[in-house]
Structures are given as C-alpha cells and as structure tokens.
Amino acid sequence: MPVFFSGLPVHVLVVHAVVVLVPLAVLAAVTVAVWPAARRRFGWLAVGLTAVATACIPIATSSGEDLRDRLASTPLIRAHAQLGDQLLVFVAALLVVLAALVWFARRPREAPGAARRPMRLVVPVLAVLTVGFAVVSAVQVVRIGDSGARAAWSGVSYTAPQHQHEDG
C-alpha cells in the first residue's frame, strides 16, 4: 500500500472512513437493538454498514503502520498504534452479535414448549450484547482519535493571528 497520495499520508485519508463509518454503525446497531420495528426493517442494512466499517479498519491500521515506520518513534505514536490495533476486535464482535441478533429475531417463534423458553432469551441477550459492543466501539474510536491528534499535534505551537493592515 502506498504511504502517500498526492503528498498526504494515506493513513490520514483512510482513517476518515473509520471515523465516519464506525460511529454510523454504532448508531445503527443501537437503534436495531432497542427498536424491534427498526430491526425488522433495517436490521440487515445495519449489519451491512457494520461489515463495511469493519472492513475499513485493517486498511486504516495497515496504512498507519506504514506511516509509523517513517516517523520517529514517540510514546504518543506508540500509544495511538496500540489503541488502533484494538478497534478491530470490538467492531468485529459488534458485527457478529448484531448479525446474530437480526438473524434470531427473524426466526419463527413456533418452537415446542421446552425448547421455546431458552430461545425467548436469545434476542434480548443479543440486544444487550449489541449495545455493549456498540458503546465500547464508540469509546474506542474516540480514544484512538484523541491519541492520534495528540501524536500529530502535540509539538505544534499556535500564535495569535497576524492581521495585515492596508495603508492607503
């Protein structure tokens, strides 16, 4: 994978897909988990969105590793890379439980008496797990973004804007 595109690090460009798609997937997953009508109508769409978000994460981490290898190693860059490596686990888990939730919620409920009781718990348990993994994924995206911003901008000094006065 190229490290730069038109003079910009590819990581800076690719990471925006993750920054947008993961929070959208989180919102879709929570909506589908807590609102049965949305689950029936948009459940598989939420699963597809989460799958695309999940697929973008390895691209972002790979491009980040390529960029990291060209930078001086600092504690901030190492912390950012470590946090970034964890995101795939959480979002992939969200994808799995969300897909299971949508699939089990669409199954017919005509099971025989003894088998019916445990199956009644599957959808609520999957809904709780979906919300849990969604929250963890959202928090992790914020932590990664914050650490990336600190790594990129910690050495930058800001000055007051300089206004040019027109004479004449």
Q: Give the pLDDT score at 109.
A: 62
- Domain ranges in the chain? 4-108+121-152
What six digits make up the tokens of 52? Answer: 């695309």
pLDDT in tens, 47-76: 999 999 999 999 999 988 888 888 888 888
Mean pLDDT of the chain: 87
φ, ψ for residue 8, nearest 5 deg: -105, 145
The pTM of this model reads 0.83
Q: pLDDT by residue (tens digit) across 112-127? A: 555 556 678 899 999 9
What whole-number distance in Å separates Cα of residue 123 and Cα of residue 46? 16
Per-position b or e across 64-96, b if 16+ CB within 10 A of its CB: bebbbeeeeeeebbebbbebbeebbebbbbbbb
At residue 135 the predicted structure's pLDDT band, cuts being 50, 70 and 90, is very high
Integer-rounded Cα Rg, in Å, for the chain is: 21
